[in-house]
Amino acid sequence: MSTVTLRIARYDPQKGDKKSHFETHTLSDVLPTDRVLDLLNRVKWEQDGSLVYRRSCAHGICGSDAMVINGKNRLACKILAKDLPATITVEPLKGLPVKRDLIVDMDPFFESYESVMPFQVTQHEPHGRERIQSHEDQQLIDDQAKCILCAICTTSCPSFWANDQFVGPAAIVQASRFLFDTRDEGNEERLKRLNEYTGVWRCRTIFNCVEACPQGIDITKHIGNVKKALLHGNTDFVRQS
Ligand code: SF4
Ligand code: F3S
Ligand code: FES
């Protein structure tokens, strides 16, 4: 068991805060199994009930507790305190407006997500009762389907920080999930969106996104494939490669 100092960014406009400031909490008896989320819970439950942050599953599935931990975008429920220095700094994600403490406004993120039509578009009736897909075709979209929409990639991207109208890597991964789904028939419109000034071309291959993704998704490969689809005018090349 050890002692940890937690520096937490606090901001509450209802209390008249004009900008964020840090508050420090010391926690003793920290266990080797305690994650940063457990420490935040202890601060909230034992020291200051006014602290707010998002969390739900506590098991890396819902994507709600993304935050900046010691300068890196992480899920608080997946990072053990014992793997960090004895002083841990926790801040809200960058590039999205902070609403309070560690909570950012996710609306712009989900607007970009919606803009790439993250759903299957079909124009023909299925042959038989289902839209059958082969194992090989499913493999083209398995990686993208692991995305939990945590926003860690988009909010670690300097191109997004520079222009918050950039659709961002998370939305591109989601677009790719459907662009390369062989049952989908909505590519024309989806590619049109991604070819806009704020679309995929604003990616400057900086790679922060792929390094930060907690799901290990090969984001830059999918971004590259979306760029190729725009250059080829179709998605056939993925089945030939
Ligand atoms: Fe999160 Fe990875 Fe999905 Fe980006 S691609 S939203 S980092 S799970
Ligand atoms: Fe940004 Fe990732 Fe491209 S960090 S610039 S989306 S490679
Ligand atoms: Fe759900 Fe961390 S609380 S991913």
pLDDT of residue 124: 87
Coil, helix or strand at residue 234: coil
Any atom of ligand 2 within 6 Å of the Cβ of 167: no
Q: What parts of the chain have a pLDDT lower than 50? A: none
Mutate to test the pocket of ligand 1, among 149, 154, 223 (most ligand atoms within 8 A of CB): 149
Any atom of ligand 2 within 6 Å of the Cβ of 174: no
Q: Where in the chain are all domains bearing CATH 1.10.1060.10?
A: 107-240
Q: Where in the chain are all domains bearing CATH 3.10.20.30?
A: 2-104
Average pLDDT over all residues of the chain: 96
pTM of this prediction? Answer: 0.95
- Which string of DSSP letters, residue by residue, matches 97-163? -EEETTEE--HHHHHHHHHT--S----S--SSSS----HHHHHTTTTGGG-----TTGGG-HHHHH-
Which listed CATH number (1.10.10.60, 1.10.3720.10, 1.20.1260.10, 1.10.1060.10) goes with 107-240?
1.10.1060.10
- Looking at the CA of 35, name the nearest ligand: 3
- Report pLDDT digits (tens) over 152-199: 999 999 999 999 999 999 999 999 999 999 999 999 999 999 999 999
Give the C-alpha separation, 122 to 240, whole Å: 23
Any atom of ligand 1 within 6 Å of the Cβ of 79: no
**What is the 46 CA–ligand 2 centroid distance (Å)?**
39
Architecture of domain 2-104: Roll (3.10)
